[in-house]
Amino acid sequence: MNEIDLVRDLLDRPPPPSGAVRSRALTRLEEDMSGGRPRRLAFGPRFRLGLAGLVAAGAAAAVGVATLGDGAPAAPPRPRAVEMDARTVLLAAAQQAEKEPTGRYWRVQTVDGSAYHVGPAEGGYTVLGHSSHTDRWQARSDGDRDVTYVRDLGARPLGPRDEAAWRKAGSPKTFKVVSGGEPSVLSTVPGRTTGAAPASWTPEIVVTPAQKRTRNARWAKICAGPDERAKRLLVFKGGCREVPSDAELRKAAGDPGKLRRVLSPWLELDGVPKERDTSALRLRRAARLLTSEALSPKVRAGVFRLLADEPGVRSIGRVKDPRGREGVALVARGAPAEDGSVDDYRLILEPGTHRILAGVDVVVRPAEADRGMRPGTLHGQRVVLSLGWTNETPRHP
């Protein structure tokens, strides 16, 4: 036995991390990954949960996504004479966001999902998988707990046309798809897909005030220190830069350059190469901030105002969101991916209130693995069921 073996023995392999530890880690990663964009991939033991009724009522849900989901050719934008342009919509959204009341928790309920093609390019069909319902309560104060609940919704054919093809194929309960370049199997039964959240709500996934204190202390120490590498490595949400105060934002509100400077830590895309740093990515990133982060009304308004100056964001007028709700869509074209595929990113707002209804990816040019997907097919979704500040006590629906 040599000293390397002795070291192995001494530093005994611990038992694998508990489900709660994994869940917490994945929840944190997910928040970072989601960047406001719909999930496209297996999030394993994860905890985004799905609107139950939504999925269970397969038919209703399918109808809901029909406008985006059934692989019909992309509907051409239907701007009406009275449609507002993107800038007008976003400035109106900023005004409304600024007026929203705050509360103890920022609560967001979302239903995520990614589309996968099943079978041959011709004659196959598209399913929505890795779809889960998440109910996330972020405390405004570090003295309160953050709580998340997640539930898997199971996979299902995306639209009516897909459902017909699925029935014709014998209504299989599992789907062989390519996910992240690897073969993967989705199950229609909630909780059965590998890595999915359970079919019923997870127990509370909690970040305690003590954990927040530890984290904040560690970050503060790193930020005060000289180690730039550590700052980049460990401190998120804009590195060690301060979150802008409401006062700063108020001062910057009318000055796009200034606003960009104070908000840039929040919108910066660390390490993104120039060619992919597009309006689509910034729209996605902004959508993430506007949904996933507990931000003050002033900051949210500021983010909307920044978007108003994004040259690549267009309004395409009225659309239906994946649940079938009427919305106004802002769209930006994504950069071609390594595999040559191109998606549009759409942020769908509720007419009148300008609240966020959904962020969706729509196929412009499919990747090889998705070659059965036609342009216009929904590629991924994050549907927002509800969001806003609340004084209620965390609980799932």
Partner 1 sequence: MDQSRPPDGDVAAIVRSRREPEAFAEVFHRHFDEIHGYIARRLGTDAADDLAAETFLAAFRRRDRFDPRRGPVRPWLYGIATNVVGLHRRAERRHYRALASSPAEGPAPGHEEHVTGRVRAGEVGPDLARALARLPAGDRDVLLLVALADLSYEEVAAALDLKKGTVASRLNRARRKLREALGGTNPMLITEESPA
Residue 6 interacts with partner 1 (CB under 8 A): yes or no? yes
- Whole-number minimum distance, CB 271 to partner 1, in Å? 4
Q: CA dihedral in degrees (173, 176, 179, 181; nearest 10)?
A: 170
Token pair in block for residue 255: 């000055």
Binding residue (CB under 8 A) for partner 1 from 73, 76, 120, 338: 338
Binding residue (CB under 8 A) for partner 1 from 97, 140, 201, 230: 230
Cross-strand partners of 382: 359
Nearest to 310 by CA among 259, 271, 358, 349: 259
Question: Looking at beta carbons only, is 249 or 363 nearer to partner 1?
Answer: 363
Site for partner 1 in 231-290 (CB under 8 A): 232-234, 236, 270-273, 276
The single-letter code of the amino acid at 117 is: H
Contact region with partner 1 (CB under 8 A), list: 8-16, 89-97, 100-108, 348-356: 8-16
Residue 30 interacts with partner 1 (CB under 8 A): yes or no? yes
- Considering Cα of 27, then 32, then 36, then 38, what sign does the dihedral take? negative
Residue 99 interacts with partner 1 (CB under 8 A): yes or no? no
Give Dmax over CA atoms of the chain in angstroms.
81
Binding residue (CB under 8 A) for partner 1 from 141, 214, 216, 245: 214
Q: How do beta strands 205-207 and 146-152 pair?
A: antiparallel
Binding residue (CB under 8 A) for partner 1 from 10, 81, 210, 224: 10
Question: Looking at beta carbons only, is 56 or 234 nearer to partner 1?
Answer: 234
Task: List Cβ neighbours of 53 (8 Å cut-off, separation of 6 or more).
Answer: none
Number of residues that bind partner 1 (CB under 8 A): 66
- Whole-number minimum distance, CB 294 to partner 1, in Å? 18
Task: List Cβ neighbours of 105 (8 Å cut-off, separation of 6 or more).
Answer: 137, 138, 139, 140, 144, 294, 389, 390, 391, 392, 394
Question: Looking at beta carbons only, is 197 or 308 nearer to partner 1?
Answer: 197
Residue 378 interacts with partner 1 (CB under 8 A): yes or no? no
